[in-house]
Amino acid sequence: MSNLKIVIPSHKRHDRVFAKKLVNNPIICVAESQADLYRQYNPECEIVTHPDDVIGLIPKRNWMARHFGDLMMLDDDVHVVKTLFCEKGETGVIRDPDQITHIIESLYELACLLDVHLFGFTSAISPVMYNEWGYYSLSKMITGCAYGVRYNKNVWWNEEIRLKEDFWISCYMKFKERRILTDLRYNFAQKGTFVNAGGLAAFRNQEEERRSILFIKKHFGDSINIKGATNNGKDKTKQLVEYNISCKFKF
């Protein structure tokens, strides 16, 4: 029997936990003061609470990793999973909880086999970005809305930053353990990342984004590249593109 727990960290979105419909037996993790509301709106889910003084997503991730040990974290606004190796004309959309749970547990089992402590899925959104000869990676970054850890001393998020904690943990684990596991076949898509009330919406803005990126660059130096602005008007994050970053370590 798998030791993996599929956990949905949530904050003030008791009536909008979309991710619970995607997997079997999800656990919703919330502050103690919000537990009653979450139980009222999500009676089919187990609710695990953390102390109210654990404030913000990054401290919550640290608490969950210590509490659960081995877990896959799904953001509450994840609403669909897409396969990138679909045939032309197919949507690639997966909504069957059995299938998605199997995809997650299979990646976890591979992480155990390879003794990798950070694992997740691709941020690529289109089949044209998929390389059929490279469907797993030990060097690419994970996407923040759906990733997991096998807890050890290196699984740690720096609580001085508020945003881009997925980028932080990817860089940190690359530096400490030289590898993370990414399944490049599947993308977990979110609903209205930058406009959905609750969660990180209260403090997600340009200045906080900029501060977080400069903080990451301070810690990882020349391995972090800050990308220039783009003119892609269709990009839902266009107000933040001037602060996009990439990572390339020398090993």
H/E element, 186: strand 186-190
Summarised one tens digit per residue, pLDDT across range 124-157 is 888 778 788 889 999 998 989 999 999 999 999 9
Summarised one tens digit per residue, pLDDT across range 35-58 is 999 999 999 999 999 999 999 999
Summarised one tens digit per residue, pLDDT across range 53-91 is 999 999 999 999 999 999 999 999 999 999 998 777 778
For residues 87 and 104, what is the distance between their CA atoms, to the nearest angstrom? 22
Structure confidence at residue 1 (pLDDT): 55
- Amino acid at the residue 17: V
Indicate if the pLDDT at residue 235 is higher than 50.
Answer: no
Of all residues in the chain, the percent with pLDDT exceeding 90 is 63
Indicate if the pLDDT at residue 193 is higher than 90.
Answer: no
Give the chain's domains with CATH numbers: 5-247 (3.90.550)
Higher pLDDT, 201 or 123: 123
For residues 56 and 139, what is the distance between their CA atoms, to the nearest angstrom? 28
Span 107-115, average pLDDT: 98
- Amino acid at the residue 14: H
Higher pLDDT, 50 or 229: 50
